[in-house]
Amino acid sequence: MAKAPLSSLYAQFSHRWHSDITRLGYPAAYDDLIAALPPLKTHPTVLDAGCGTGALAQAWLKTNLPHSALHMLDSSEDMLSQARDNLSQVPYTTFHQDTLGSTAVPENSCDLLLSAHVIEHLDTPQDGLRWFASRLRKGGQIALSVSKPHWCTALVRWRWGHKAFTPSDVHAMLTATGFTNIQAVPFSKGPPSRTSCGYIATRL
């Protein structure tokens, strides 16, 4: 039986996505990732690229200063609708239904770029990382969650099409696309500790 396209799968599961990832412990893992970020300037501009239901942005909002703008970008209107509901009370937030490569968020305009489990879906992950770098100002920060090799990840890949990358793979890709001060942030428990790893880095 042929698998449904990824967009159809996201549409099918969007209504329960946030509760499912919360049950599995991903928002808690994102808290650890955000805690590892160095301080940003006051009132930063933030982009969550491939935001899904907004879990990574929510982790950032828990402990950080007010932002001047928060951009939520996702290709799935169903997922973006859930993000709108989850962030409905957050001021200065704009939602963009578009893919990576979008010009909705200008180049060199962001102080922080967030992205959870996005580059694994790209035919050429480094193209996505180059686009991430292009949205950031010099010295801007990136916080990523990326799937890593594990038998659990193999099951996820069968269903969702994820690739998986070792920390050394991610370090090499970030270095090649203009990032420095690269730090892996291992997740400490639950499914995230087996399937994923966090990364922070600075745009040169």
Give the model's confidence band at 41: pLDDT under 50 very low, under 70 low, under 90 confident, else very high. confident
In a domain, 191, yes or no: yes
Q: By C-alpha distance, which of 54, 129, 114 is closest to 90?
A: 54
Would you call 88 helix, strand, or coil by DSSP? coil
In a domain, 73, yes or no: yes
Whether residue 168 is predicted with pLDDT greater than 50 in this model: the reply is yes
Q: Which residues contact 55 (CB under 8 A, 6 or more apart)?
A: 18, 21, 22, 26, 27, 30, 116
Any idea what the CATH number is for the domain that residue 35 is in? 3.40.50.150
DSSP β-ladder status, 179-186 and 196-203? antiparallel
C-alpha to C-alpha distance for 164 and 162, rounded to whole angstroms? 6
Per-residue model confidence (pLDDT) at position 182: 98
Q: Which residues contact 169 (CB under 8 A, 6 or more apart)?
A: none
Number of domains in the chain: 1
In a domain, 101, yes or no: no
Domain ranges, residue 55 = 6-87+114-203
C-alpha to C-alpha distance for 77 and 87, rounded to whole angstroms? 15
Per-residue model confidence (pLDDT) at position 53: 95
Q: Compute how many other C-beta atoms are within 10 angstroms of the C-beta atom of residue 157.
A: 15
Average pLDDT of the chain? 90
Structure tokens at 90: 């957050």
C-alpha to C-alpha distance for 146 and 92, rounded to whole angstroms? 27
In a domain, 140, yes or no: yes
How far, in whole angstroms, is CA 133 from its chain's centroid? 14
Among 19-23, 108-112, 127-131, the least confident range: 19-23
In a domain, 183, yes or no: yes
In a domain, 182, yes or no: yes
Whether residue 5 is predicted with pLDDT greater than 70 in this model: the reply is no
User: In DSSP terms, which residues pair with 137 in a beta bridge?
Assistant: none
Per-residue model confidence (pLDDT) at position 46: 98
Per-residue model confidence (pLDDT) at position 4: 42
Q: What's 177's DSSP letter?
A: T
Give the model's confidence band at 63: pLDDT under 50 very low, under 70 low, under 90 confident, else very high. confident
Would you call 44 helix, strand, or coil by DSSP? coil
Whether residue 65 is predicted with pLDDT greater than 80 in this model: the reply is no
Order of all β-strands in the sheet with 69-74: 93-97, 69-74, 45-49, 110-116, 136-147, 196-203, 179-186
In a domain, 93, yes or no: no
In a domain, 100, yes or no: no
For 92-106, write each residue's pLDDT tens digit: 999 999 999 999 999
- Interval 126-155 mean pLDDT: 89
Q: What are phi and psi of 163, to 5 degrees?
A: -85, 180
Q: How many residues does the chain have?
A: 204
